Amino acid sequence: MDKAIRKVIIVGGGTAGWLTAGTLAAEHLANTDSGIEVCLIESPDVAIIGVGEGTWPTMRATLKKMGISETEFIRHCDASFKQGAKFAKWVTGAEDDAYYHPLVLPQGYAEINLAPFWQQHKADMPFADAVSFQGYLCDQGLAPKQNTTPEYAHVANYAYHLDAGKFAAFLQQHCTQKLGVKHILDHVTAVNAAADGDIASVATRQHGDISGDLFIDCSGFKSLLLGQHYQIPFICKKHILFNDRALAVQLPYADEHSAIASHTISTAQSAGWIWDIGLPTRRGVGYVYSSAHIDDAAAERELRQYIRPALGPQADSIALRKINIVPGHRQLFWHKNCVAVGLAAGFLEPLEASALVLVELSAAMISEQLPANRAVMDIVAKRFNDKFLYRWERIIDFLKLHYVLTQRTDSAYWRDNCNADTIPAELQALLQLWRYEPPWHRDFSQVDEVFPSASYQYVLYGMGFKTQTRPTARRADNSALAQQHFAKNAELTAKLLRGLPANRELLNKIRQFGLPKI
């Protein structure tokens, strides 16, 4: 039990495997004699899912810690800048129905909650526009920084859109060439258990048994170690989040000068929603939907109708890729000396790009709290499980929030999403509370919430939610301060609209000249 943790085996590649490998290897000096050994085993025949093309701003810090140049990342991964998400037709389904969930906090958020002050004049301006500048930047297709802004620094907070296949290959090269990760291309054919129930080794077709001290399951939906070997139950969440199918397609631009959207576009349909992600060389588009509310043929027709303005007659014949989804997660994520990351741990749906951030958060916690020896591993495992069960529950709440406030009644899908039986109890309680007091810092118990209270504000008030606040002395005293912040946001918006380049313009300059190093 006091055996030191010296060798980590990661089963599975893709984005989850290589992000985890890179995070561990960089922090624990895998490229030195004194560091731990990180070995990634990847099947040569299993293709990655490869449609997770949206990240969170956290990815900037993750890549920086791994020693990756942002310039090289953008050049090699067909990456573009993402400044939030635009939700179209989620409220009423009308053509002009849209709101933003930007990646910047509302103006003065640490000092004052502007929501009740905005509500007094909400007819004049959408919430996101009143408290942040980022929706305006997205409307104009502007970048979040200038070509003189150093790598990973920002003028407006940003994440990325990227080509998942190219990203995995880029990470593989960096991890193996710079960080000392050992890469084995082989099939795992069996899991060999030790007498105490731990995993002693995994058997491979050509490299024999490969032993380790900690095994990380990044084997995707198969969940070879945690799911198949340990039989950790899968908790299905389809009764809350209905979407269980996706159809994906890649669309070319009209020409090399076409604008690149600065945000993910999520457009509601009759039984789900369509994502639209702009990369430098193409758009990634897909329809995620509920098979209980629409059949595959009808979903395909809706998707082809969406892409017809871009493709014309070709929209009727372009090949679509079908992906089956079982929304949910494992009952535990760390059991014995095995921890699951990525799809092996679970998946909900693509909304709000929560899948990749869970990979980042999982890899970071494993790395930061890597057990010194087997004796303390179960303590770390319990802490990990508690933290991530909470995170999955809160993500489910936040994703469901997008559906429960709709005013659409045009299909059973939208009506069923508003059924109280499908809404988690914690979310129902918060919605009741927020009818009288807007979300703010005190509403959540963790200092590192996956979705902060600001995100709830953007979705709530973007969807037309009403909070009936009562007058208080504190609020009256803060009225002048609120007006100052509204004015400051308007000034900042005008300044940034004048000073920032178009998304494509900046990306072209990065490809040609690169970004300054910090």
Pick from 199, 225, 229, 228: nearest CA to 214: 199
Q: Are 80 and 280 in contact (CB under 8 A)?
A: yes
| Alpha-carbon 313 to chain mean position | 33
Reported residue count of the chain is: 518
Catalytic residue IDs: 82
Pick from 390, 365, 391: nearest CA to 380: 365
Strand 214-217 and strand 338-340: pairing? parallel
**Tokens 């969406």 label which residue?**
306
483: tokens are: 């007006």
End-to-end CA distance of the chain: 44
Task: Determine which helix (DSSP H) or strand (DSSP E) holds 215, and give its type and residue range.
Answer: strand 214-217
Longest dimension (CA), the chain: 73
DSSP-based three-state secondary structure for 11: strand
Q: Are 80 and 510 in contact (CB under 8 A)?
A: no
427: tokens are: 């979310």
Distance CA 80, CA 113 (A): 32
Pick from 384, 405, 381, 507: nearest CA to 463: 405
∠41-47-51 over CA atoms, to 5°?
115
Pick from 414, 418, 352: nearest CA to 92: 414
Q: How many CB atoms lie within 10 A of CB 476?
A: 9
Cβ contacts of residue 50 below 8 Å, gap of 6+? 14, 164, 165, 168
Residues of 419-454 as b/e, b for ≥16 C-beta within 10 angstroms?
Answer: eeebbbeebeebbeebeebbbbeeebeeeebbbbbb
Pick from 68, 97, 153, 161: nearest CA to 353: 161
* DSSP assignment of 128-172: HHHH-SHHHHHHTTB-SS-TTSPTT--SS--EEE--HHHHHHHHH
∠498-503-504 over CA atoms, to 5°?
125
